Amino acid sequence: MYFDNTRVERHIVDIILRLKRAGFETYLVGGAIRDILMQRVPKDYDISTEGTPEQIRDVFGRRSARIIGKRFRLVHYYHGADIIEISTFRRAPLPSDGEVSGDENAYGTAEEDAWRRDFTVNALFYDPSSKRVVDFTGKGIEDTKDHVVRVIGDPMGRLEEDPVRILRALKLVGQYGFKPEPSTAAAISASLPLITQCSHSRLSLELEKIIRRPYSHSIFQAFHDFGLLPYYLPFFSEEWGTPECVYMLELLRERNERILQGSYRDSVSLAIATACLPYIERTLRQDSSEERGWQYFRGIEKVIHKTILKVFAPFHFPKRIVASAVGMIMLQPSMLNMSRKSNNLRNKRYLHARELMTLQNKFKWNDPELEAFWPPMASPQRHPADPGDGQRRIKRKPRRRGNDRPAKDSYGDMVQCGNPEG
């Protein structure tokens, strides 16, 4: 397959070449190679090198490179607003490693690193200096061309080792139209219940990645087709095939298409509101779908919040994101009935609320006057971005001087928000 190296961003190449000049074998690895081979633009880039995290940090300096993690230590390199993950080659831990077998910091060679990865299509390495793709498993390029998901090693053993790989395999099915090869498909089917043994934090993080990206509707379809929904999202499983579920998938598909077209942002809060709106409408009213909105009553905000939690149970999104989703849903009745225009335009969630309204308009009313009434920009009196999806704003306490200085432990730890790939 032809690899279009012009699709690799220049700063990524520069990082790799800088590590190579420092004497460390280094590659661009994983999903970015697969995406470029498929003539797609990579969503993000991962780099792997033989340098240890400390050596990587020494190359770039402490201001630009930060070591994170304990069980799996790697470096976050900060390039403007982007964070590039740089990992050290790993090998599968051996019994002789003793305590090391409890973590994932057993360093190895590039080939050993490739063989410990999950799927052949994710085990491709690219060297920009020689402009060649290295396929250590011998199946990665072929499987990318044929759209095949193949677990590296014994499929059942690797899925038992980390059941989250089930999710990632089916994400490839839903997002790219891949098909598991027979032994991988059989292992997925046999190991579905194991997903319930994974930590809620990891599964919640995977769910946030799924619903943020513009393929959520097809990934949910793949989860249903392979029987994962009862173990992962039981509410979706129970509702599958209902009018509300069909409408939900239509709304998500339209939202995702608009993200790919560049007209919508990949907002988690908007995705949550979009997925939950049909069930919220069913809860709040039983009237004809032609009616716009619903009647306000005391406690409606709690009902909306409770419905969102029910739809995605047993997993939880950050409170600020759920609050943002509730807020844009609360704006719908006044927007659909074209009332309280000045108040809505000043609302910090106006832009997402308008996007949610235009999605409904496409399927229910197709009213051009409705969309023309609400301008596609917020009032300059309010910041147009929804803070629910971005960096968490950290309020710093004013500095105190002299005898008023607080004790050393009186300040809370700063929270770094992010969504690193596992």
Burial of 401 per CB tally in 10 Å (0-12, 13-18, 19+): exposed
Active site residues: 44, 46, 118
What residues have CB less than 8 Å from 401, skipping those under 6 apart? none
Inter-residue contact 134 to 124 (CB < 8 Å): yes
**Number of Cβ atoms within 10 Å of the Cβ of 399:** 8
In sequence order, what are the beta bridge partners of 66? 76
User: What does each C-alpha distance from 118 to 50, 81, 233, 290 come to in angstroms?
Assistant: 20, 29, 23, 48
What are the backbone dihedrals phi and psi of residue 67, each rounded to the nearest 5 degrees, phi first?
A: -80, 130
Q: Which two tokens stand for residue 397?
A: 């306490």
Pairing of strands 132-135, 74-79: unpaired
Sign of the dihedral defined by the CA atoms of residues 269, 274, 279, 285, in that order: positive
